Chains A and B, each alone.
Chain A
């Protein structure tokens, strides 16, 4: 049974070869390969985790920026609203001021007109008085050639003047 009887020489060489291969590969071969593969696996899983975290962070940042944007938008509307209100207020107060100013100016104008009118009236009065005195003088001169008539007329005039003065002071 040559098939089932191990040959010593071959046993020796097999043991020799196998132990060398085993020794060398157990030290420098397989552990290096498996360690590197597991290191790479760790590296990949770490990278995946880091990527996930980064995505999460990015999402946070996005949310934050959205919130900031929202806030800014709210503030913007507020500011605009306030500006509009302020503007309206300013316009309204300006209008009011203008109205007041106008009224004041109108009042002053009216007063000055009244004053002028009075002045003019009194001037006219004075002129009229002067004219009427002149005219009266002329008429009187023409009529009062005699003495008697002069005197009665003078009396009458004085009386009338007195009446007029009295009336005037009465009026006032």
Chain B
């Protein structure tokens, strides 16, 4: 009950936060639309993909952005650190610029070497997504270290505050219903990783739905983030897999011809080891990416129909707001479900990597 209530509250906050800035920015885009064609694709791309600065809003002709540090290694060796403001509006700084649309490495920092060739330097810039990850990680650390500190400071029979209670409920829900139910007796070893993964994804998802700074970055809809999460699951599954698990991969219970001269079944099984985390990676990415895209598309409907006259625009605005609201609520659900699914499947894969001996013999 508390969970649902919390979700509804969050949905209301998210919806209110979404509507306010979007309505404000409607005028700005509408004014622009009169002069030049609205590049829908560009707007969606700008919001969804990573960026070297964090565009907050545009007020009249003024762009309000947070410029982030660019950290690149030049061709001649040596790291360069400078603000991304120096690269804004296509400017070049110390031989670095951001590749134009249609160019190779589009949207990334590229360098031009002495021979005049364009190359992609080692680039560990703190981009919008990197900053969002740091903010979200800080939020997560704050929440859980705070809750843990509360527990350390109080005797064990005292009543937790509402927030501690809610967090405890979420943590225990994940630990009992996902981790313990899927892994079994050794679940304690894996529960910190799975809990971290669950809340990391959940917090990033929810922060992604909030449209204003420090939310709104599409972190879990970026392949680099989901790749790292999937790799961690891959490691967790295979690092402590027992003998039975490896035997089932390389010497499964199939007719000899399927595994002896040509290792057909072992190959398929080994491929399965890789496809499981791959599916996790793509699932999370696709869900969050699609959610962001759809919400943006519905919101942009207002500006697309601005040219079609006030009546149609007004009608479409109402339509768009209603649909965005519905989509945001849906995305909130998806945010939880995707965190849940990722954790549940990771736990199930880990559970499968530790088959009990007698279970195998029963088969």
Contacts and interface: CB of A to CB of B under 8 A. Distances in A.
Nearest to B229: A18
Contacts of B10: none
A10 B222 contact: yes
Given A21-B200, A40-B156, A6 B193 contact: no
A20 B136 CA distance: 12
Contacts of A31: 192
Contact of B157 (A15, A20, A43): A43
Nearest to A27: B192
B147 A10 contact: no
B157 A13 contact: no
Interface string B205-223: 0000000000000000011
Interface stretch (B1-9, B13-21, B126-134, B294-302): B126-134
Interface string A1-39: 011111111111111011011101110111111101101
A30 B156 CA distance: 16
B100 interface: no
A10 B52 CA distance: 11
A33 B106 contact: no
A14 B225 contact: yes
A25 B195 contact: yes
A25 B144 contact: yes
Interface residues of B, number: 48
A37 B126 CA distance: 38
Nearest to B124: A9
Interface in B171-189: 171-172, 175
Nearest to A44: B157
A9 B106 CA distance: 15
A105 to B, nearest CB: 89
Contacts of A3: 49, 223, 285, 289
B171 A10 contact: no
Given A10-B130, A14-B224, A28-B145, A21 B151 contact: no
A9 B108 CA distance: 11
B228 A39 contact: no
A22 to B, nearest CB: 5
B123 A21 contact: no
Nearest to B52: A9
A78 to B, nearest CB: 53
Interface of B: 49-50, 71, 106-108, 122-127, 129-130, 133-134, 137, 140-141, 144-145, 147-148, 151-152, 156-157, 167-168, 171-172, 175, 191-193, 195-196, 200, 222-225, 227-229, 232, 285, 289
